Amino acid sequence: MRKTTGLGANIGYHLMVLTYRLQDAFVKPGAILHEFGIKKGDTVVDFGCGPGRYLRKAAALVGESGRVYAVDIHPTAIRIVAKIAAKHKLGNVIPVLLAGGKTEIEEGSADLVYALDMFHQVTDSGPFLAEVRRIVKDDSRFILEDGHQDRKTTRKKLNVSDLWEIESENERYVTLRPVKN
């Protein structure tokens, strides 16, 4: 994954946040979530949530009876997400720091996981894909955006594990289903 400690990592992270804020002034980032079929009461995981660009929309889509886990490896991201959740009274958003490749999310609990604009930073895709498989239900979906890599590279990373099969795809992302054990 990416480096998450030290002055350089924090400066780089804050520059990324600034870039996203500029982009978000022109484009509504949460609009893509309507394509994912999120329903009231769902448990959704925003894997690689970064500065929480999609959280307000995801929290609204799952409603008060649903839950949104905001997962990232960067402690600054988790602090930003916690502030967003508090500021906007998003009681259904739970920030989760990914440590050692594992989350605290219960096995088989997620209805949907999405990972947007982050897969290009995953250098060892096997453990990442295994952790996502661990937390999803057997009938769940996993939306995986290519990010800053071509689809061929995404497919190559997916082929590392036998945990996922492509259900559908478009120019931006693939929709995956877990392979049944």
Domains and their CATH numbers in the chain = 6-178 (3.40.50.150)
Whole-structure pTM value: 0.86
Degrees to nearest 5, angle at CA 91 with 71 and 16: 40
φ, ψ for residue 171, nearest 5 deg: -65, -25
* Pairwise CA distance, residues 125 & 153, whole Å: 11
Tokens of 94: 């739970």
pLDDT at residue 1 above 50?
Answer: no
Give the model's pLDDT for residue 2.
45
Report the pLDDT value the prediction gives residue 28, as an integer from 0 to 100.
72
* Residue in the structure block whose two tokens are 């290009």: 120
